[in-house]
Structure 1
Amino acid sequence: MALTPHHPVPALPIEGLIGVIAPAGPAPLDTEKATQWMRARGHELRIFPGVYEKDGYLAGSDDTRLNDLHAAFADPEIKAIICLRGGYGTPRLLDRIDFDLIRRNPKPFIGYSDITALHLAINRYTGFVTFHGPLLNADLLGDKEPPTVTSFFSLLRGQVKAGSALNHPAAYPLTTVGPGIAHGRLLGGNLSIIAATMGTPYQIDAEGVILFIEDVNEPLYRIDRLLTQLRLAGTLAKLRGVLVGDIAGVDLEALNRLLKQTFAPLRIPVLSGWRSGHCDPNLTLPMGALVTLDAGEKRLVLEQDVVVSR
């Protein structure tokens, strides 16, 4: 079955203004540090009000966080949107999002962890590429290894073209759990959030997908339970391949054994150990993009441009 590519978004231009929103949990932001960090790389920041708010385990009320999301997409001066942190909160917004507004204002949208809920919803209801990549606080301002920043800017600025393999640092070996080559649309993110959206209008459309998964603070038995939920829901049977990111805190040998048990009956390629998620470095991945996964050769190749020149 041929897959229609998700639409690329306008590239982040040199000196393009970047919006900062907090659609999930709260975190203190050193505004001066953030501003200087971005200016050193050629960009100014526009920080939205909810970034400075705290409502228990949420960064501001649902109304505040939703308004910031809409305002950041609607603002024509903002050329990309990055999230402050993950935590929890984005699933509460999904049934109130104005997807028509977002569809009319495509731009790079970046985050991970709880932000996965927004990736899934935007991918499904707008049809354009988003970016599973660093958060402002934990990653860009957290002095993570250089590939974190290099991967982020090279994808958003359009320096990685269709036909290029995404770079993965040799210092972090990948593991072929299931050999083979698959062509499909890369979708996914945080495994817990993927499972939490099952049975909702925002669940992952897995037909023809290369599933990317990552997680943190989940012991192996919970990873097993989450994968089993996706298997029983019929999601795994629709996949063409699987790319496994960092499953922080889980023994790698035990994880790969579980992955083999889960995916071997499906006879699809599975590549494990991609440094994306709650890890250092945290590499950016284009969600919704057509890719080729070669698990045997341990390569992930872009089959479409994910940004276009403005």
Structure 2
Amino acid sequence: MPRPVHPPKPQPGDRIAVLSPSSGLPGVLPLPFELGLARMERDFGLKPVEFPTTRQMGSTPQQRADDIHAAFADPDIAAVMASIGGDDQITVLPLLDRELIRANPKPFFGFSDNTNLLMTLWNLGIVGYHGASVMCELGRPGAMHPLTEQSLRAALFRSGPYKLPEASEYCDESRDWADPATFDAEPAMQPSGGRIWHNADRVVEGISWGGNLEILSWLLMADREIQPDESAYDGCVLFLETSEELPAAEEVFRVLRNMGERGLLQRFGALLMARAKAWSFERPNGPEAKAEYARDQREAVLRALAVYSPDMPAVFDLDLGHTDPQQVIPYGGSVRIDGRTRTVTVTY
């Protein structure tokens, strides 16, 4: 499969489409959305353009597909960003006009359920960007985290290598987006503990593929967007993150085990595993429970690797996906993992 190409970058002053390919949550919780739009315009110099379903809860898959088509086809739109994730973007995929998108490549930013569209772009030979949504990262209470802002700015406007700095602090807990007081102060952070390296005795460089583990498992189950010839993934760098639904460690193992049984897991040259989100409103874990959850997830991943790819280098607790700060990972771009210097470099 040909190496994906980077679509042209936007410039300050350009128009950026803001879409809700999954959930129209901006219509229910406008505070972080409006804050994110304001920062997009004030701090990044981009002009956000909303589409019909951006704030519409309950929109149909066809309506959301229409918005995607309109955004990519509009020559005055330089990039596209998701407002937030959701859980049914998979229903939009069969409705997409892939030739329209292929003919009008644009940088797309999103994560979580937006793994669906990012994988579609990968299959079309277009580099996307796993990370940054209007409500979560741009709409962060108090201020954007500096590492998030630096990464997003580099991914939006620059090309070339970007070494992902290691965060000394993180937060995976949320506050009520319906309460204006939430936005008066930044989230309370805690020490990150640093990255954890496995088989860190070499340098691996490859094209990135993956995304949210739960969404990836659904795509595998529905046989959507997965290349029939698994050699397309040979030497790629797999990156994974889990969501606020807090999948059990055994479920994480089973997804990876099934990828191994399919002959897919062992195709990859390395694994980047996000810091596990270990807190949700439904399961407000304390520090000990959070540490146990993260440890159990890491051990589940290592258990699967031991069976199907024992020599694979892996890096755990990266700042990607459902964590704060969050760094953007190019989806289809080059990733270099240097175990000797303990560095991870992406190409935006």
Task: Tell me, yes or no, if the aligned pair for 1:194 and 1:203 is still in contact at 8 Å.
Answer: no
Residue in structure 2 matched with residue 228 of structure 1 by the alignment: 257
AA aligned opposite 2:251: R
- Note if contact 1:271-1:298 (Cα within 8 Å) is conserved in structure 2: no
The aligned residue for residue 175 of structure 1 is: 196
What does 1:35-54 correspond to in 2, within 5 Å? 35-41=37-43, 42-54=45-57
Secondary structure of 1:189's counterpart equals strand
Q: Map 1:117-266 onto structure 2 (within 5 A).
A: 117-124=116-123, 126-143=124-141, 144-158=144-158, 161-162=160-161, 164-171=162-169, 172=192, 173-179=194-200, 180-198=202-220, 200-203=223-226, 205-216=232-243, 217-249=246-278, 251-265=293-307, 266=309
Higher alpha-carbon deviation: 247-256 or 267-276:
247-256
Deviation at 1:4, TM superposition (A): 4.6
Q: TM-score, normalised by structure 1?
A: 0.89
Distance in 2 of aligned mates of 1:252 and 1:147: 22
* CA RMSD, Structure 1 to Structure 2 (Å): 1.9
- Do the aligned partners of 2:20 and 2:84 also contact (CA within 8 Å) in 1? yes
Structure 2 SS opposite 1:263: helix
Q: Report the residue type matching 1:184 in the other structure.
A: G
Tell me, yes or no, if the aligned pair for 1:85 and 1:135 is still in contact at 8 Å. Answer: yes
- The amino acid across from 1:47 in the alignment is E
Q: Which moved more, 1:272-281 or 1:223-232?
A: 223-232
SS of equivalent to 1:155: helix
Contact 1:134 1:152 in 2 (8 A): yes
Q: CA deviation at 1:201?
A: 4.2
Contact 1:176 1:272 survives alignment (8 Å): yes
Gaps of 5+ in 1: none
Listed one character per residue, the Cα deviations across residues 165-208 of structure 1 (whole Å, up to 9, x for unaligned) are 23332444110023232121111100111121116240265322
Tell me how far apart the structure 2 counterparts of residues 292 and 235 of structure 1 sit (CA, whole Å): 21
* 1:112-145 Cα shifts (integer Å, max 9, x gaps): 0000011111101x20110001111122112342
Q: Report what 2:6 is aligned to.
A: 8
Query: Alpha-carbon deviation of 1:34?
Result: 3.9
* 2:240 partner SS: strand
TM norm structure 2:
0.79
Using the TM superposition, give the Cα deviation of residue 291 of structure 1 relative to its aligned residue in structure 2, in angstroms: 2.0
Structure 2: gaps (5+ residues): 170-191, 279-289
What is the distance in 1 between the residues matched to 2:92 and 2:113? 12
Partner of 1:269: 313
Structure-2 separation of matches of 1:259 and 1:168: 21
What SS does the corresponding residue of 2:80 show, helix, strand or coil? strand
Could you tell me which residue of structure 1 aligns to residue 90 of structure 2?
91
Number of aligned pairs? 295
Going from structure 1 to structure 2, the CA distance change for 1:220 and 1:296 (only over 3 Å counts) comes to: farther
Distance between the aligned counterparts of 2:70 and 2:61, measured in 1?
14
Deviates more, 1:127-136 or 1:24-33: 24-33
* Secondary structure of 1:227 counterpart: helix
